[in-house]
Amino acid sequence: MTIKVGDKIPDVTLVKATSEGPEKVQSSEYFSGKKVALFSVPGAFTPTCSAKHLPGFVAKADELKAKGIDEIACTAVNDPFVLQAWNERDGSTAVTMLADGNGDMAKALGLTMDGSGFGLGQRGSRWSAVVDDGTVVQLNVEEGGSFEVSSAENMLNQI
């Protein structure tokens, strides 16, 4: 079943990519008591993710925070080392990378995709959400391979 507005983010273990190395994070603790702009990409360093999705949230970080967002986070079914390298190359300190290496969060949310045709295996799909104290208050899920509703720009227009 796919998560929807009003649902709580499921409690799973993610791995936060930090300059000191990987750090396990429980989603229930991470999302507690703050408003997070969360977005998911099929994979670090992939074309749309690197050219549009991550750069959009980096460029709009100050505007999102001015509208009440406490933290911006990106999740992907990648390992934390890949997400850290991607953030160092294309991101910024304004975006927290949360690795979902085993796809536990993507599965629990019901937001997976099959990238086997491209050699990617099972991945998280492309989407964005505003999560307020662990509850989804806004959700934008892309259809197919599109990039239309999950952008930082669209999120800003909805807040």
Q: What is the pLDDT of residues 11-46, one digit of tens each?
A: 999 999 787 889 999 999 999 999 999 999 988 887
How confident is the model over 57-99, as pLDDT tens digits? 999 999 999 999 999 999 999 999 999 998 988 878 999 999 9
Which residues form the catalytic set? Answer: 49
How confident is the model over 129-138, as pLDDT tens digits? 999 999 999 9
Could you tell me the CA-to-CA distances from 109 to 1, 4, 35, 93 in Å, in that order? 7, 9, 18, 26
CATH of the domain spanning 13-158, picked from 3.40.190.10, 3.40.50.300, 1.20.1250.20, 3.40.30.10: 3.40.30.10
Tell me, what's the pLDDT at 103?
93
Tell me, what's the pLDDT at 58?
95
Exposure string (b/e) for 84-95, b if CB count within 10 Å is 16 or more? bbbbeebbeebb
Residue 113 has pLDDT above 90, yes or no: no
